[in-house]
Amino acid sequence: MVATQEYKVIGTRPIRHDGLDKVTGRAIYGADVKLPDMLYGFVLRSPHAHARIRSIDTSAAEAMPGVVAVMTANDMPEAADELVDLGEGAINFSHASDHIMAMSKAKFKGHPVAAVAATSTNVAREAVAAIKVDWEVLKSAVTVDEALAPDAPVILDGWVGDDLGEKSTKPNVGSHFRHEFGDIEKGFADSTTIIEHRYDLAMVHQGYIEPHNGTAIWDQEDRVRLWTSTQGAFTVRTQLAGILQLDESRIKVTPTEIGGGFGGKIPIYVEPLAAILSKKSGGKPVRILMDRPEVFEATGPTPGGWVSVRLGVKDRKIIAGDADIRFDAGGFPGSPVGAAAMCVFSCYDIENTRIDGWDIIVNKPKTAAYRAPGSTHVAYAIECIIDEICEELDLDPIQFRLDNASKEGTRRGDGPIFPRIGNIETLEAARDSAHWNAPLDKNPGNGNVRGRGIANGYWFNVGLKSSVNLSVNTDGTVMLIEGSTDIGGTRASIAMQAAEVLGIRAEDIIPTVVDTDSVGYTDVTGGSRTTYATGFAAYKAAQNLIDELTARAATIWDIPEDEVVFEDGKFSSKSDPELSMTFKEIAGKLNETGGPVSSTGAVDLENAGGGFAVHICDLEIDPETGKTDVIRYTAVQDVGKAIHPSYVEGQMQGGAVQGIGWALNEEYFMSDDGQMVNSSYLDYRMPTSLDLPEIETVIVEVPNPIHPFGVRGVGEPPIVPPVAAIANAINDALGIRLREAPMNPGRILEALKEKNG
């Protein structure tokens, strides 16, 4: 299970370069940004889920002492109504602008309609309260089914979605697409067992600790400087340029440290407002920090909706699969239903498949990426149905998955052929794990019952663009400049790859994440791409550095360049064994041999190599109350090659925990008129360390053949299986199939009542 290549740095566990600053509180987060003469912004948000703005009267706010600027959507530049590629995802700047500040209609509760910059936050809040909006409240639609109903209100005026290549005749369709391979009708006709169910999920939030924020200066030369907490400074720059209608190079984005993102800190929210308020304030810096209700109500969660899957089996082989995936996109089109379709059948080799995807506009906050977006939803459906098949046919759930597992050469549900993947190795590792082989006492004697569930999950990962600069110090250390926001220790995992090439210690690389003016274009830290793609850029930059140093060695020794080899961290002469220098030694000679040496490396990677995660979950449930405790949990995952195993394990554990919260407790609890009624961490119940056992991890390493060290993205697969694994464990414990998440005590008790008549 472990890659055979021997490394000196890769696979070790050095202390992260940014650790001290983070544990001592010295690291600068968005709320720490303080600039001279800074103003404080606050946003007026719609109290209605769906309402037309008849008029806005800002005069009272403008007259308040301490108020420097007030803006409405009239201050937003007109942005282009076309889809622009954002690397990870795409953006329609006209929608984005309307999303950031509603032009004519609020499309969700919390939709911004005005904003104020003042000398203090309190003044700004008071001024916002003094703005009068004349609202025409409209009927709202907050679920997929409500929004698709014939009498549904039209949410996005003028929008006509694409429905299988035609203009949609239904209201609120963002889009409807289909992937179809083989002969789905014949597949089901040939099947001896067919199971079909619909699985419903509530909208849930990424739940990062740090709220969104932005501090901006729009100066008199129309240059914008922005400090913000983001997964990708360059993507912020692109969005800001499109929304503010400025050239990208007039914008400098400085990424602060990030207090969590999980996909949700790719889009921007308050940043353009801070910039426009700065412009209206004569160029003073304006900082806007969201509070927690604003984050819940107005920043992108992952969609609710439903997934209906029908599987046909013959001779223990799944031969037909049909999926209908309907996600609520929020007030504008753009849910991750496309990614869900890429994942739904990806763990299996199924000859005949059809996947329908529906992106549905509803009166809820516009969704954003959340860790393997869409894949958890579809895994909930398919992995539970697989469990039902095994139950019905009395098959071992791992063996059945192995018998049907996708592998190199399998066609993925949406069409592409799999390269070398580690699905089978991951399932085998789960099968052979201590946890799977440990007995479970299903009735521990305290009145509770126990059950064990398993589920598989897939994420495709992305590659995209990254740039890295290196420069050598004469003490043999190397400065590494990158544009990737550090999430989960990526400063370390990128530095380690450069160190491996250069034959020096990880600690001898000093990595810095810089602003958009100071390094080449780099896509977001998202799609599990950073250790993979920015690491690849670091590898290339390091190789280029070795080339430069090889030339220096040739100069120093006065031999031809092709006589110099670099191996095991040493430059040496092919012919003269006396001539040998370590990296550190040659670094010490740079000043006398032509001066400083720097290098760059950049990648644009089309593919990434997908990852698979198999999770095993033991639950203990109190049938009286429905209270559910996770008592043992194991995450098994193919990571390609674990650069820094501690951080890989951290990703596996973190993803599992977020999935467990999603399965058991988390949800946007909506009132009938489209109000989220649990928009605080008191009411929106995320698991804490007190709620969970240690998550056990099993790292599987099937090297990714298209990466020099075999890296696969590791951040996203672990959030995919938990919801299904827990549903399967609940069934194992109680014999009930819960097909709606969260599977909280109320739902368990209801299902038990129904089962027991």
Q: What are the tokens at 736?
A: 């009930």
Q: Where are the alpha helices (DSSP H) in 558-702?
A: 583-587, 645-664
**Member of 157, 517, 576, 683 binding its own copies (CB under 8 A):** 517
Give yes or no for residue 77 binding its own copies (CB under 8 A).
Answer: no
Give yes or no for residue 524 binding its own copies (CB under 8 A).
Answer: no
- Show the site string, 419-458: x = touches its own copies by CB under 8 A, - = not: ----------------------------------------
- Whichever of 268 and 537 has its CB closer to its own copies, that residue is 537
Stretch that binds its own copies, among 55-63, 350-358, 442-450, 516-524 (CB under 8 A): 516-524
Query: What element of type H or E holds 355?
Result: strand 352-361
Give yes or no for residue 591 binding its own copies (CB under 8 A).
Answer: yes
Amino acid at 401: R
Query: Across-strand partners of 582?
Result: 570
Binding footprint of its own copies, residue count (CB under 8 A): 53
Give yes or no for residue 121 binding its own copies (CB under 8 A).
Answer: no
Stretch that binds its own copies, among 120-128, 393-401, 520-528, 555-563 (CB under 8 A): 520-528
- Distance between CA atoms of 605 and 534, rounded to whole angstroms? 10
Stretch that binds its own copies, among 157-165, 184-192, 590-598, 642-650 (CB under 8 A): 590-598
Give yes or no for residue 607 binding its own copies (CB under 8 A).
Answer: no
**If you ran DSSP here, which 8-state letter would residue 405 be given?**
B
- Whichever of 602 and 695 has its CB closer to its own copies, that residue is 602
What SS3 state is found at 27?
Answer: coil
Query: What element of type H or E holds 727?
Result: helix 722-734
- Distance between CA atoms of 650 and 736, rounded to whole angstroms? 32
Asked whether 284 and 68 are in contact (CB, 8 A), the reply is: yes
- Whichever of 242 and 717 has its CB closer to its own copies, that residue is 242
Stretch that binds its own copies, among 317-325, 519-527, 674-682, 728-736 (CB under 8 A): 519-527
- Whichever of 347 and 603 has its CB closer to its own copies, that residue is 603
Give yes or no for residue 518 binding its own copies (CB under 8 A).
Answer: yes
Roughly what angle, to the nearest 10 degrees, separates helices 271-280 and 93-100? 70
- Distance between CA atoms of 402 and 390, rounded to whole angstroms? 12
Looking at residues 184 to 223 of the shown chain, list those that interact with its own copies (rule: CB under 8 A).
217, 219-221, 223
CB of 284 to its own copies, least distance (A): 10
Q: Are strands 193-201 and 740-741 parallel, antiparallel or unpaired?
A: parallel
Give strand ranges (E) for 212-333: 213-218, 224-228, 251-255, 286-289, 305-314, 317-330
Asked whether 485 and 598 are in contact (CB, 8 A), the reply is: no
CB of 76 to its own copies, least distance (A): 21
Q: What are the tokens at 347?
A: 């763990």
CB of 115 to its own copies, least distance (A): 23
**Member of 265, 465, 632, 737 binding its own copies (CB under 8 A):** 465
**Member of 475, 567, 578, 672 binding its own copies (CB under 8 A):** 475
Looking at residues 265 to 324 of the shown chain, list those that interact with its own copies (rule: CB under 8 A).
283
**Member of 2, 5, 20, 139 binding its own copies (CB under 8 A):** 20
Angle in degrees, CA 534, 535, 537, rounded to 5: 60
- Distance between CA atoms of 609 and 717, rounded to whole angstroms? 12
CB of 516 to its own copies, least distance (A): 8
CB of 347 to its own copies, least distance (A): 31
Asked whether 128 and 64 are in contact (CB, 8 A), the reply is: no
Stretch that binds its own copies, among 64-72, 245-253, 358-366, 571-579 (CB under 8 A): 245-253
**Member of 114, 602, 636, 706 binding its own copies (CB under 8 A):** 602
- Show the site string, 21-50: x = touches its own copies by CB under 8 A, - = not: x--x-x-----x-x-x--------------
Looking at residues 731 to 750 of the shown chain, list those that interact with its own copies (rule: CB under 8 A).
none
- Distance between CA atoms of 572 and 577, rounded to whole angstroms? 7
Give yes or no for residue 538 binding its own copies (CB under 8 A).
Answer: no
3-state per-residue secondary structure call for 90-158: EEEHHHHHHHHCCCCEECCCCCEEEEEEECCHHHHHHHHHCCEEEEEECCCCCCHHHHHCCCCCCCCCC
Residues 6+ apart with CB under 8 A from 605: 463, 464, 465, 529, 532, 533, 536, 706
- Whichever of 394 and 606 has its CB closer to its own copies, that residue is 606
| CA 75 to each of CA 221, 243, 426: distance values in angstroms, whole numbers, following the listed order | 18, 11, 54
Give yes or no for residue 479 binding its own copies (CB under 8 A).
Answer: yes
Query: Across-strand partners of 511?
Result: 480
**Member of 216, 472, 487, 630 binding its own copies (CB under 8 A):** 472
- Whichever of 131 and 498 has its CB closer to its own copies, that residue is 498
- Distance between CA atoms of 447 and 99, rounded to whole angstroms? 51
Look at residues 61, 71, 73, 34 and name the one whose alpha carbon lies nearest to residue 124.
61
CB of 470 to its own copies, least distance (A): 9
Give yes or no for residue 473 binding its own copies (CB under 8 A).
Answer: yes
Stretch that binds its own copies, among 2-10, 183-191, 510-518, 734-742 (CB under 8 A): 510-518
CB of 569 to its own copies, least distance (A): 17
Asked whether the bond before 301 is cis by omega within 30 degrees of 0, the reply is no
Stretch that binds its own copies, among 376-384, 591-599, 630-638, 728-736 (CB under 8 A): 591-599
Look at residues 299, 234, 266 and name the one whose alpha carbon lies nearest to residue 100.
299
Look at residues 605, 619, 722, 718 and name the one whose alpha carbon lies nearest to residue 662.
722
Residues 6+ apart with CB under 8 A from 5: 703, 709, 710
Query: What element of type H or E holds 278?
Result: helix 271-280
- Whichever of 142 and 470 has its CB closer to its own copies, that residue is 470
Residue 375, φ and ψ in degrees, nearest 5: -75, -35
- Whichever of 428 and 508 has its CB closer to its own copies, that residue is 508
Stretch that binds its own copies, among 69-77, 124-132, 248-256, 676-684 (CB under 8 A): 248-256
- Whichever of 522 and 731 has its CB closer to its own copies, that residue is 522
Q: What are the tokens at 148?
A: 């698709």
- Whichever of 588 and 623 has its CB closer to its own copies, that residue is 588
Give strand ranges (E) for 375-513: 449-459, 464-472, 478-482, 509-513
**Member of 88, 425, 508, 666 binding its own copies (CB under 8 A):** 508
Phi-psi region of 422 (alpha: psi -120 to 50; beta: other; left: phi over 0): alpha
- Whichever of 433 and 512 has its CB closer to its own copies, that residue is 512
- Whichever of 323 and 478 has its CB closer to its own copies, that residue is 478
- Distance between CA atoms of 530 and 468, rounded to whole angstroms? 12
Handedness of CA 136, 141, 146, 150 (dihedral sign): positive
CB of 720 to its own copies, least distance (A): 28
**Member of 12, 94, 245, 600 binding its own copies (CB under 8 A):** 600
Stretch that binds its own copies, among 17-25, 205-213, 340-348, 524-532 (CB under 8 A): 17-25
Q: What is the CA radius of gyration of the chain?
A: 27
- Whichever of 42 and 218 has its CB closer to its own copies, that residue is 218
Asked whether 627 and 745 are in contact (CB, 8 A), the reply is: yes
CB of 598 to its own copies, least distance (A): 4
Footprint of its own copies (CB under 8 A): 20-21, 24, 26, 32, 34, 36, 85, 217, 219-221, 223, 247-249, 252, 283, 465-467, 469, 471-475, 477, 479, 481, 508, 510, 512, 514, 516-522, 590-591, 594-600, 602-604
